[in-house]
Amino acid sequence: MNSPEGPKGSQTNTLPEIGISQILGLVELLISKGGRDDIYKLAAELSMELGETLTVIKAAELLGLVHTPGGDVVVEGPGLKIIDASIPERKELIRCKLETLPVFKSVRDYLKETVDHEVTREEVLEKLAELIPNEDAESSFSTLVNWGRYAELFGYNDDSQTFYLDSGETTE
Amino acid sequence: MTEQPQTLIELDHVTKRFTLPQGDVTVLQDISFKAVEGEFITIVGPSGAGKSTLLRLMNGLLHPNEGKVLYQGKQMRGINYETAMVFQNFGLLPWLTVSQNIELGLEARTKDPVLRSERVRMYTTKVGLEGYEEAYPRELSGGMKQRVGLARALAIEPSLLLMDEPFSSLDVLTSINLRNELLDIWSDRDNVVNTMIMVTHNIEEAIELSDRIIVLSNRPGRIVGDIRIDLPRPRKKRDKGFIEYVDRVFSLLA
């Protein structure tokens, strides 16, 4: 378990603009290499810029699928299970982790509290601005929507610009 | 399994020419091969080898100038409604949602809206798009867009799935993930479609995925190799056997 790092608090709430497929691809690649690799070598092998590789790794780390001791990236915990899991099981593993991340938890709690379980895009952007004060909230927004949709944690309708609790979901 | 797999599609001495202002160009010459049910075939070749043309001869959008294409033993004369296509650039309509894009191919095939929405739901789930139903393509990553393309093709429940460079506009990690998921779909015998023919220019991708690789020469495309990949799955790029196949295919293209 990572201990919370005080001064970096807001930084860890930032969501990298990385899709779930890319993160799963990284974990699949690492598993095929025995579960670990040197980050620098990995970037070279993939012909990806180091910065770009680090962003994908950061995203996978945020989802609790890998950790990064020294200059290596190592598959851990749910990452070891996710590759052989069925699609619904994968979604469940991601969902469990997202529920612990402040940004997702906060949006979900907000949705549960409102009377009709709907909140607007603007309201969510305000929440993000509180949680990530030094960053552009818009840049985390698409990841919030996409990961949230994948995990079926909440839905988002871009026509009405509203978030809602995903169906089949009972409110506590 | 004691049943002998049936030939699904057969190309018999197929030649395809296009008429251009500067004269006729032969794109494919004397192509003959058969695909049996359950096979995963890739077609590799340099650009301009006529790989995409070959797929369009199999779905009936194009017709050969010489030779014939037989589907389940019958000569094809029009569109082959038993096939579905997955495209390199996804082929999604930007003003439609994920669900509406998946439903698109079904509209011509079934008039029953209940059946259509059941199919949409089933294949949305199968490719991991549950939760994205009302998203628009602009909101999706490349990987999710290609899942929509795949779900739309699968929802038709074709007997042959044709794929034209389906991973080449995706980043390297996303394509690793989608290749694995495609193999899961192909090997799931509960699925209607278990026969797949895919065009790629990526030799490693072809060896990783397919039972057989058909290698085409540069224009006009002729078959210069038909190689069975005899390696257990999952296949690893660093394995000696894998590297030997890479060399073999590469030497045919060089």
Cβ burial of B146 (10 Å; 0-12, 13-18, 19+) is buried
| Cβ <8 Å between B131 and A158 | no
Q: Which two tokens stand for residue A80?
A: 């070891």
- Which of 231-250 (B) contact A at CB < 8 A? 234, 236
pLDDT tens track for B206-238: 999 999 999 999 989 999 999 999 999 989 888
Instruction: Pick B173's closest partner by Cβ from A25, A149, A150.
Output: A25
- B174 reaches A (C-beta below 8 A): yes
- A167 reaches B (C-beta below 8 A): no
Q: Which two tokens stand for residue B144?
A: 């999710």
Rounded CA gap, B98 and B75, in Å?
36
Chain B residues within 8 A of A19 when measuring between CB atoms: 141-144, 174
| Cβ <8 Å between A149 and B132 | yes
Report chain B's mean pLDDT, rounded to a whole number.
Answer: 94
Nearest by Cα to B11 from B176, B197, B188? B197
Rounded CA gap, A86 and B243, in Å?
30
Q: Chains A and B: how many Cβ contacts under 8 Å? A: 83
What is the 3 state secondary structure string of chain A? Answer: CCCCCHHHHHHHHCCCCCCHHHHHHHHHHHHHCCCEEEHHHHHHHCCCCHHHHHHHHHHHHHCCCEECCCCEEEECCHHHHHCCCCHHHHHHHHHHHHCCCHHHHHHHHHHHHCCCCEEEHHHHHHHHHHHCCCCCHHHHHHHHHHHHHHCCCCEEECCCCEEECCCCCCCC
Nearest chain A CA: its distance from B132 CA (Å): 6
Predicted confidence band of residue B192 (pLDDT cuts 50, 70, 90): confident
Predicted confidence band of residue B77 (pLDDT cuts 50, 70, 90): very high
3-class DSSP state of B181? helix
Instruction: Pick A21's closest partner by Cβ from B135, B136, B177.
Output: B177
Cβ burial of B133 (10 Å; 0-12, 13-18, 19+) is middle
Q: Which two tokens stand for residue B112?
A: 């029953």
pTM: 0.92
Rounded CA gap, B74 and B112, in Å?
29
Residue A104: how many other CB atoms lie within 10 Å: 20
- A92 reaches B (C-beta below 8 A): no
What ipTM was estimated for this complex?
0.90
- Phi/psi at A80 (5° precision): -70, -25
Q: Using N-to-C axis directions, what is the helix angle for A20-32 and B142-155, rounded to 10°?
A: 90
Rounded CA gap, A150 and B144, in Å?
10
Chain B residues within 8 A of A150 when measuring between CB atoms: 128, 131-132
| Cβ <8 Å between B139 and A91 | no
Q: Which two tokens stand for residue B221?
A: 């495309």
Of the two residues A169 and B241, the one the predictor is more confident about is: B241
3-class DSSP state of B37? coil
Question: What are the CA-CA distances from residue B1 to residues A69, B23, B163, B186 (Å)?
Answer: 48, 51, 27, 17
Matching residue, tokens 């590297």: B243
Rounded CA gap, A6 and B169, in Å?
40
Pairing state of beta strands B66-71 and B74-75?
antiparallel
pLDDT tens track for A108-126: 999 999 988 999 999 999 9
List per-residue pLDDT tens for chain A, 172 residues long.
444 443 344 456 789 999 999 999 999 999 999 999 999 999 999 999 999 999 999 999 999 999 999 999 999 999 999 999 999 999 999 999 999 999 999 999 999 999 889 999 999 999 999 998 878 888 899 999 999 999 999 999 999 999 999 765 433 3
Q: Which two tokens stand for residue B153?
A: 């093709």
